[in-house]
Amino acid sequence: MFGNLLQNFDCTFPDINFATSTYINLVDMFCKFPFNVILIFFSDFYVVKAYWMKFGFKRFRTRFSSIMLLSLFMLPLCFCLSVLSVSSSPDYSKYFKYEFIVDEDGSAITRIIYRSNLADGSSWVLIPRFSKWSNYTVHGQVYNWTLEEPEGYTGLQYYFYKVLKFHYFASSGNQFEMIVEYNFTSAAMIIEPDGIFYSPQIGFEGGSGFEATVIFPSIFKVNLNEALALGNRNSYPPDRGASNSSFVLFRNLPLTENLLRIEVGFKVSGRNADFINLESGTFKFITVKRYESYAWKILNLYNSTYDVLANLFNTTLEELDSKGEKTVTVRFFIPDFYSLMSVGGYVPFTGEGMGDIHINFIFTRYVEGYLEVIALHELVHHFLWKAGVSPKKLLWFHEGMAQHVSIEVAERIGYEGASMIKQEIEEGVQQLRAVISDNFGFLMEWTPSYTPRDLNTLYAAAYYVVARLAEEYGGLDYYAKFFSLLGGMKVEDNAALCYYLGLAAGDAGESVINKLNAWGFGTVDLYAYLPLISEVKAAINDVDSTNPLLQPFKYFAELIYKSVMSGERMIAERAALFLLVALLIARFAPLIALLTYSSLIFASILLILRLKGVL
């Protein structure tokens, strides 16, 4: 749902250190030579070492002479190939080269090399807004630079980036080269054996030449079928001839593509996931060790909002289950390559209960508040289930409530991202209403196994209904009253749901039903039977609970009453009849009990007499 807000997406960055910068320089040096030639020289080194150890100095000296001759032959060839490689590349007056060097924990050094053959000129590039970056010139001189907002250059408001605008003079020979470097945490997200690299935002002056390389540790095995440069207009595969399982090259993209991300899927070999269990209050978080701090952030959020949610939903989540385990378990997950940001989180539903909470780790890189809203959204599903609302038949209400409540609670805490999400959804709602007006009846068809519309439409419509009811009838206090009236009763259908929503509005209850029907719900109006419902409930409560002879009849009256109030359509459509039956059973329970037990006694006496042969 939040995938459209890519300009609000990225993480924070620690400082660059000298060692990593040196490593980049070495990588850049090797990348200037054909990859197969490099392998030959590395092979020579290992041959030398092997012969020295196995055969001693004399045989090594003989072999070393032949190896040196081979190397002397290969050096000119390597030089010629590198010259041909350079000369065959397009001749751009402005050229940006991006390098991403990924370490085994997923952090990456980002290096941007800008080259120009103009005597003097200017250009711009996106750089991180909230973290340190460095730049230096290799050839020429920068005589003026400014930091500016990206919107004027890109048309978008990038939350995590600013534009570095720079003016320069070239050195003799019209050569200018400048390098920008910064570190980027969680560039590759890893839960062994799965991993996805997703670059920081790439942005530079349009019409410039561009290439990008991503260099991985040897234990990461890239799937080149899951490697794309994601531009504004299209997606572009890597240069397969120059790429391999740890080195991915993108080049020869259209000059119109100057705002990109690079996504690469990979597997981790030779290393198992280092899972740890974190427990706090009602909750347990299972995570890999490297993401422990993110897990604690969510656990602390859950504990700080638990009382608010418990009061709202008029229920609590048991701390331990029958096996002594925490009842709510949370996990991070790495999404599928092609659905990177389409799913923020999920809770499996088996029909018997709610499963573990799963949170997409990539949202740790968003503006603060996005991850928190997703985490709260999934937790609300657990509270709704415990309060008696099943997602099986009322999925629209589950999702609408989860979205509305999570945003409202996160906004009250002060998360900036929550307000941004709310604004995005509200804009989507207005666009939706412009197309379908206020006809949201399709929401009633939404189940875990069937989606009558696309998910964006369903989520937006569900949020709109829940949020507008809250807006008109008292905010979260309105829903707190709703769950208080529900009192743990299971709600199985829209008829019962609408009844309690109307009841929570007090004197304005009839308007709630009218509003829902105007939105296309068209449910059975149980609210019309409010006086009868109240009378039945009072009659059931009046049955003496201390008299064991009356309890079976009280149970039958409650069973009929709850069947009507659950909203089961076959019963709700004959609500008046079933309510009258329940009322008669409860009101005349002593008389019915007397007649029933007298009949049973009389029948028993007749049976005994017949067995004795008297009759």
Q: SS in 3 state form for 420-467?
A: HHHHHHHHHHHHHHHHHCCCCHHHHHCECCECCCCHHHHHHHHHHHHH
Confidence at 192, pLDDT banded by 50, 70, 90: very high
φ and ψ of 99, to 5 deg: -125, 130
Q: Is the pLDDT of residue 280 over 80?
A: yes
Q: Is the pLDDT of residue 511 over 60?
A: yes
Distance in angstroms between the alpha carbons of the first and the last residue of the chain = 79
Average pLDDT of the segment spanning 332-336: 96
Predicted confidence at residue 509, as pLDDT, reads 80
N residues, the chain: 615
Q: Is the pLDDT of residue 29 over 50?
A: no
Question: What is the token pair recorded at 66?
Answer: 């032949």
Name 510's Cβ contacts closer than 8 Å, sequence gap at least 6.
502, 527
- Comparing CA positions, the residue from 444, 441, 454 lying closest to residue 493 is 444
Average pLDDT of the segment spanning 245-264: 97
Residues 415-452: pLDDT tens digits? Answer: 999 999 999 999 999 999 999 988 999 998 999 999 99
With pLDDT > 70 as the criterion, what percentage of the chain qualifies? 81
Confidence at 90, pLDDT banded by 50, 70, 90: low
Predicted confidence at residue 525, as pLDDT, reads 61
d(CA 501, CA 591): 36
Average pLDDT of the segment spanning 549-559: 85
Least confident among 38-52, 124-138, 161-175, 404-418: 38-52
Q: Is the pLDDT of residue 521 over 50?
A: yes
Q: Is 573 helix (H, G, I), strand (E, B) or coil?
A: coil
Amino acid at 118: L
Amino acid at 1: M
d(CA 507, CA 46): 87
Predicted confidence at residue 7, as pLDDT, reads 59
Question: What is the token pair recorded at 286?
Answer: 């299972």
Q: Is the pLDDT of residue 321 over 60?
A: yes
Residues 178-187: pLDDT tens digits? Answer: 999 999 999 9
Q: Is the pLDDT of residue 43 over 60?
A: no
d(CA 314, CA 350): 23
Predicted confidence at residue 524, as pLDDT, reads 61
Q: Side-chain half-sphere of 352: how many Cα atoms within 13 Å? A: 0
Q: Is the pLDDT of residue 224 over 70?
A: yes
Q: What is the pTM of this model?
A: 0.77
Least confident among 364-373, 473-482, 493-502: 493-502
d(CA 326, CA 76): 67
Least confident among 19-33, 217-231, 360-374: 19-33
- Comparing CA positions, the residue from 455, 398, 399, 450 lying closest to residue 432 is 455
Q: Is the pLDDT of residue 383 over 50?
A: yes
Higher pLDDT, 80 or 359: 359
Predicted confidence at residue 571, as pLDDT, reads 60
φ and ψ of 605, to 5 deg: -60, -45
Higher pLDDT, 570 or 81: 570
Q: Is the pLDDT of residue 395 over 50?
A: yes
d(CA 613, CA 606): 11
Q: Which ranges in 489-588 belong to alpha helices (H)?
A: 494-504, 509-518, 530-542, 551-565, 569-572, 575-587
Predicted confidence at residue 550, as pLDDT, reads 87
**Looking up tokens 């149980």, which residue turns up?**
526
Residues 576-588: pLDDT tens digits? Answer: 787 788 788 888 8
Average pLDDT of the segment spanning 406-412: 97
Residues 49-86: pLDDT tens digits? Answer: 333 333 343 333 444 444 444 444 454 444 444 434 43
Q: Is 166 helix (H, G, I), strand (E, B) or coil?
A: strand
Higher pLDDT, 264 or 601: 264
Average pLDDT of the segment spanning 572-576: 67
Q: Please, what sign has the CA dihedral across residues 136, 142, 147, 153?
A: negative
The strand pair at 209-215 and 220-230 is best described as unpaired
Least confident among 78-82, 356-360, 397-401, 592-596: 78-82
Name 514's Cβ contacts closer than 8 Å, sequence gap at least 6.
none
**Looking up tokens 């067995």, which residue turns up?**
611
Indicate the average pLDDT of the chain. Answer: 84
d(CA 18, CA 20): 6
| Other CB atoms within 10 Å distance of the CB of residue 302 | 22
